[in-house]
A and B are shown apart, each in its own frame.
Chain A
């Protein structure tokens, strides 16, 4: 037998404390809901496929000590040496993606265009890049060795062919076939034919709005910014990294070698997102804990205050279950009204965050999921005091104090 009406009238006489807890729950829901959507967004960002074999890739970079160092020669000798190493699947020289450094440019589908360019990250690569990055070619072909040109840093040479990502192909040629078409640098008239399309590559900046727009050009540039990208056999990455450090220094001791895993560089790129996730999760956990404490406190207080009444109810025929149910139901009513406040507050708060801070919209489903969880937490918080209330002896009714 539910006792809704008597509970409501009893609550009405303690409306201030009930309302305070309800408002606290509501505010918690508003904050938790909005924090959750931010956490969710950041987690989705991190979980995006990068298009490359992050876990198997080692990058290496060197700084020569002599001034007139022949970098191109070093590239050739190092790559030959590295490809012979045990555990190495493929090696190339280019710029490591996902690591936070690279170049970008605007591209057009017609010559001599100045405005309306599609921005894209650009990578200068050799014919080993698809294999070394562990990417997937979804259309066309890879570059051949003949197409690769070695150029100086200041060269303005432009290649005749290019490979692009599927995402960029879709942007440049919406609804059409990109393979075989030509693209142009902004203001330029030199056509570069798209000979291949790779499935995905997030580019140098995974958090940038242009992440995923990537162009690969068949050229090796004489620059200190170039990295070796070495893909190891699965599980061999760390061994390969150690070996590389040793062998690169051994092949030519006149340079400082820096070997890293691509994974650690990607983690650094996502450090801000990870911090945000940790901080917001902490806030969500803390607020939930505080609201649970509040509920435990209020329930314990009310039960202590109503010990005699509980004894009287027991004497009048209430079973233990009826007593526990009374307090759980009372708590449920408070929690439900708090959550009703919270659902509205969450949407209002989100509207404010979305307009002022460009935060993602809060879907009602997220709010409702958070609401359900908070409801569960508040019931769980009230459960132990409610069960203990059921142990109050009916003989309490006849005690004069």
Chain B
């Protein structure tokens, strides 16, 4: 469902050009749970931004559901983000002025659902993350783990085809991190494709597949391991 071929992304300032991604190719299938790891500055966030249509690549081809993203304008990319992609951010990124109900409502309003439909979806999503009773609370009144669950509810309410999680447990203690991880696994079991960027090797291992990004390129661990095994037998 997601296919990147030779994606390049460079940032240019007056004096220097930085290559965040170089010849980056990756394919993610429907229903997969892929974790993305790599050292700081390796290009994880750039990959996530491009995968989530938050940034456009400098070169290469990106197909999402067989649709070439390179041909889309800003309005179409916004629509696609809204309809197909759910985001979970490290810092939760809830809107502090809005209560939980209204926070989950944000993407649904952009989708153009009517009030009744939105209400149904919001209540269901909050129910799924176990926070239905707190719908009128403000984010500041919740713990970090609860806030991240609201963010997950917000990502789920639009029933996206795939979920992009940027260090979803990075700001949480281990107990809360486990709860959030279990929630993601549950969501994946129900068919949503998930790409999760993480620093945590334990979490990364729980995914179906782990991609490591080094220097803006995919370092395929399994292939590397296979080559090493071959060398050893020879």
Interface residue ranges, A against B (CB under 8 Å): 1, 3, 5-6, 9-10, 13-14, 308-309, 312-322, 393-395, 397-398, 400
Contacts and interface: CB of A to CB of B under 8 A. Distances in A.
A317 B93 contact: no
Given A315-B52, A397-B54, A9 B97 contact: yes
B97 A10 contact: yes
Given A9-B98, A13-B97, A398-B48, A317 B75 contact: no
B78 A9 contact: no
A158 B132 CA distance: 100
Interface in B57-105: 74-75, 78-79, 81-83, 87, 89-91, 93, 95-99, 102, 105
A395 B74 contact: no
Judged by DSSP, the binding face of A is helix
Nearest to B102: A6
B87 to A, nearest CB: 5
A6 B105 contact: yes
A398 B97 contact: no
A177 B66 CA distance: 94
28 contacts: A1-B109, A6-B106, A308-B93, A309-B95, A312-B89, A312-B93, A313-B95, A315-B54, A315-B81, A315-B87, A316-B81, A316-B82, A316-B87, A317-B78, A317-B82, A317-B110, A319-B78, A319-B110, A320-B74, A393-B54, A394-B53, A394-B81, A395-B55, A397-B54, A397-B93, A398-B48, A398-B90, A398-B166
B49 interface: yes
B99 A9 contact: yes
Nearest to B80: A317
B49 A395 contact: yes
A313 B54 CA distance: 11
Contacts of B53: 394
B62 to A, nearest CB: 15
B110 A1 contact: yes
A296 B158 CA distance: 35
Contact of A10 (B90, B98, B110): B98
Interface residues of B, number: 35
A316 B107 CA distance: 5
Nearest to A1: B109
B112 interface: yes
B110 A322 contact: yes
A165 B211 CA distance: 100
A316 B156 CA distance: 11
A322 B75 CA distance: 10
Contacts of B55: 393-395
Contacts of A395: 49, 54-55
Contacts of B83: 317
Contacts of B166: 398
A13 B102 CA distance: 14
B154 interface: yes
Given A316-B107, A317-B110, A398 B49 contact: yes
A315 B84 CA distance: 12
Given A6-B98, A6-B105, A313-B106, A319 B75 contact: yes
Contact of B95 (A312, A314, A319, A320): A312
A316 B106 contact: yes
Nearest to A390: B74
